[in-house]
Homo-oligomer: A and B are copies of this chain.
Amino acid sequence: MKGMDIAEVSRRTGVPASTLRYYEERGLVASIGRRGQRRLFDPAVLDRLALIALGRAGGFALDEISSMLTPDGLPKMDRGRLDAKANELDQTIQRLTAIREALRHAAKCPAARPMECPTFRRAVRLAGAGRFEVAPLAPFKAEAVSVTRRKRRTGHVRLE
């Protein structure tokens, strides 16, 4: 009978069994049945987990991710929503880029206090310039979710 048990899914994706159960409970993945009391998963769950990992890595909340996936596989999102997400991410990227530059500059700037340096100040300003909100970015641990199928309160920041 086809269907992988939880250990195999875990092994192949790097996602702990406890997380898989949790995801199932949250409706993010579904098992295709049981053999005895044990869950059986369709291999398609591997792709699904990869998509979930993608979303998590992008800083999306689980609820948000589940709203992006249909029960049976895919992109339940319309173009607009996807684009919106992409833009959101783009804002984040720009913000992070400004911060990275601020750090790099701080590393070599001679000013005693960074805030006295115009370049640094500018970066700080850019970093905080947007007025959007961004989901927290998930801790990204290596290891996980192979996509290959072989065998198969509130930090506030304002500027003026």
State the A residues within 8 Å of B (CB): 13-16, 19, 47, 50-51, 53-54, 56-59, 73-75, 77, 79, 82-83, 85-86, 89-90, 92-93, 95-97, 99-100, 102-104, 106-108, 112-116, 121, 124-125, 127-128, 130-148, 153-160
B137 and A136 contact, CB distance less than 8 A: yes
A and B contact pairs by CB, cutoff 8 A, 26 listed: A19-B154, A47-B115, A53-B128, A54-B99, A54-B124, A57-B96, A57-B155, A58-B100, A75-B113, A75-B114, A79-B108, A82-B104, A89-B96, A89-B100, A93-B93, A116-B157, A121-B160, A124-B159, A130-B140, A131-B143, A136-B138, A136-B139, A142-B157, A144-B156, A144-B157, A147-B159
B115 and A89 contact, CB distance less than 8 A: no
